[in-house]
Amino acid sequence: MPLSEAQKKAQKKYNDSHKDHRRYLSYRNTMRTFLRNYATDADLEEVKELLTERHQINRIMDNLDAVRALISEPDFTVKTKATVSIWRRPADMMKNKQENEHLTNAQIQQWFDAHNGATFNPETPIVEIHFNHHVHLYDALHAYDIVEWLVNSAK
């Protein structure tokens, strides 16, 4: 049965307003079809590695969301006497410092290394906490525990 003009218009409006979800469903269905019908053992081994990597990314993003929730509480900075910045990558933090503090690349690298920055994965988010006149850097997996401790110790 053909759709009426009103139904076509409503369907288009729905599709336009739900593009991301429709894309997600399409990719998920494609993945399932591939795994069920076409994947070789080599493909499945690669999928295992990708799953492990994706679980790690999801844990990082969950921790960052939790950090954002804590630092967005009213009076967080006043209560904890700390400021928190979340950086997508260590290089983004270093670039920001260079631009805002007018330091050379060598000075920024020296500062970063002095704060154990060399131990961070260059593609993993980093959390910068200024507390008690010191700068502390944490990877995204550990930052929530530290920020939660700051909040609880301020009570």
3-state helix, strand, coil in the chain (%, to 5): 70, 10, 20
| 108-139 pLDDT, tens digit each | 888 888 877 667 788 889 899 998 888 888 88
The per-residue pLDDT for range 28-41, each reduced to its tens digit, is 999 999 999 999 99
State the pLDDT at residue 139.
86
CB neighbour burial string for 75-99, b if at least 16 within 10 angstroms, e if fewer? ebeeebebebebbeebeebbeebbe
Per-residue pLDDT, 42: 97
Averaged over 79-87, what is the pLDDT?
90
This prediction's pTM: 0.66
User: Residue 112: what pLDDT?
Assistant: 81
Mean pLDDT for the stretch of residues 45-67:
91
Residue 50 confidence (pLDDT) above 80: yes
